[in-house]
Structure 1
Amino acid sequence: MDHGDHLCLAFADDDEQRRVVTAYVSAGIERGERVMYFADQCTPADVLGWLSEAGVDPGPALKTGQLVVTTADETYLAAGSFDADDMVTVLRREVRQSLAGGYTGFRVSGEMGWALRAVPGADRLGEYETKVNSVFAGQKASAICQYDARRFTSTQLDGFDRCHPGAVEAQPLHDDGTLRLLPSFHEGHRALRVVGSVDHRTTHALAAALDAALTWPGDIRVDMTDLEFIDLAGIRVLSRRAAGLEPGRRLHVVELAPLLCQVITMVGFDETPALVVTPRRATA
């Protein structure tokens, strides 16, 4: 995270949310920024507890007003409904006042689960996420919007993700400069993202990452959007992991280059029933 960032965090478990929030809030305090947190599913006490357990005493920052931990009801829904334009205005004011008050920047994070309630104006959340980009772009300010992937649908997650210029990435399962393997999301579904090249030097890393992904519930998705190269040994690993899945589960290899899809067909790996390969979408 840096100044100007407005990122989407789609998390699949409580520990993941806790790690990101703790790191983001504590870093802001350390950097001398003003930090605001809008809780919803969690309570303000939960968030402050995360900081304390991580060795960060939130007391001094709370006392001076550098840290504000409140709720969605008191911020997004302060008027009893959600007004996208009013909230954008509020954030602009907070950025301006934080810098005028001598802070080195402003950062904010909000839990967005309130939008799943029957709240007037919640249908404008996507519009708000797009509008608020201008609040942070080029400013000494940043934001993380949190979406619980267990509560929002795949379609909703995909839509909100597209409203943000970027997303918070999980810690890579492997990263050696040639290949990065990291938990991610693809069209709202949890996925293993493959970035770089898979060859004889990195096939073992792909196999280990797939084994980790097998512990996730449901089908497994492997996002090949940023794949640069994969050899037959790498494709064989995908096929073998798919063949080993319990009945009813599938391994979806998505966004694979069309030529590599043809290779999979030529060598017969497409005959593995649990292996589903989707070619990369053509770009205009």
Structure 2
Amino acid sequence: MPAAGSASVGTIPVQQLRAGDHAFVSYDGDDADRDVVSAFAWAGLAEREKVLVLAAPKLHEDDVWARLDAPGALLGAARERGQLVVSSMRALIHPDEAFTPQRQWQRISEETDQALAEGYTGLRTYIDMHWVGDLNADVEMMKWRESHAHHLFVDRPYTEICAYDSRWFTPDVLTAMHEAHPCRLLPTLGALHVEHTSGTVRLAGEADLATRQEFIGALHEALRRLDGGELTVDLSDLIFLSAACAVDLLRLVPADGRGRIRVRCGPVPARLLKQAGADGMPQLLLSEVER
């Protein structure tokens, strides 16, 4: 497990979250967040972390368990031993009835310490922000909490997702909270996120059959913007690169000496690109990175 405090930044898939991350995600449907919370919980179980799901207050506990997908022996065992817990913000801050950042921080710190005392590697919490309405909390106080919670994460084995229903929160609040969190999550599994900056195109998520045209289009646009020189293609936040997309990338490497491409990626995509012929392309530079 990555060291606590080595926080992620930018937009990433939920599978890339690690200890020390404080992430924003928004959703716009009653089941739209199902994939994210399920993947988040199962990743925590795999990392031997304790997982706390503070679901939307309107959901019955049985519905929350159903959203975690594939209920069976593993999920049942995690639930039985207390590694996976479904609760609420109201229960977390009990016996206090009113929300204050200080009380919430205190309880999260206590829960993190308790998880370690129980032998887990850390704590990860999924917080549906509908608790704000349920507790009649002041939105400005909630916003202040979100932008001043760094101490919960620095050198601590704690990970948190704050999930905002875009149908309930105003656009101004959503924008402010998007900016307040160090990292933002792709809203669904299987998505591809593209960011263009000077001399660089960054891709996060999954580059596969479903997103192949988006992947190719992003590379074409990056090369068009650069018009010669060196282009950095940052794949370090991809969790999947298909063989077809790897070949598509290699086909776009300039063969006329007008510039070159530097690819930043993890060991698995690097191996795939080498198998596809990257080693024989002088205009392509592979920089292998670890997350």
Equivalenced residue count is 196
TM-score normalised by the chain length of structure 1: 0.59
Question: Aligned with 2:25: secondary structure?
Answer: strand
Higher deviation after alignment, 157-166 or 44-53: 44-53
Superposition map of 1:115-126 within 5 A: 115-116=132-133, 119-126=136-143
Superposition map of 1:1-284 within 5 A: 1-40=17-56, 41-53=58-70, 57-76=74-93, 79-116=96-133, 119-170=136-187, 171-173=190-192, 180=203, 202=220, 229-230=224-225
8 Å contact 1:37–1:108 — kept in the other structure? yes
Alpha-carbon shift at residue 38 of structure 1 (Å)? 0.8
Alpha-carbon shift at residue 57 of structure 1 (Å)? 4.1
Summarize deviations over 1:7-35 as a string: whole Å, max 9, x none: 01112234430000000011111221111
Query: Aligned equivalents of 1:121 and 1:59: distance in 2?
Result: 37
Q: Could you tell me which runs of 5 or more consecutive residues in structure 1 were left unpaired when the two chains were aligned.
A: 183-194, 204-226, 232-284
Summarize deviations over 1:149-183 as a string: whole Å, max 9, x none: 121111010112222111112443477x967488x
8 Å contact 1:179–1:202 — kept in the other structure? no
Q: Could you tell me which runs of 5 or more consecutive residues in structure 2 were left unpaired when the two chains were aligned.
A: 1-16, 195-199, 206-213, 227-291
Instruction: Describe the shift of the 1:163–1:24 C-alpha distance in structure 2 as closer, same or farther (beyond 3 A).
Output: same
Which of structures 1 and 2 has the larger relative contact order (alpha carbons within 8 angstroms, sep 6+)?
2
Question: Aligned with 1:16: secondary structure?
Answer: coil
Query: Aligned equivalents of 1:157 and 1:75: distance in 2?
Result: 24
Identity of aligned residues (%): 26
Alpha-carbon shift at residue 119 of structure 1 (Å)? 1.3
TM-score normalised by the chain length of structure 2: 0.58
Alpha-carbon shift at residue 132 of structure 1 (Å)? 2.1
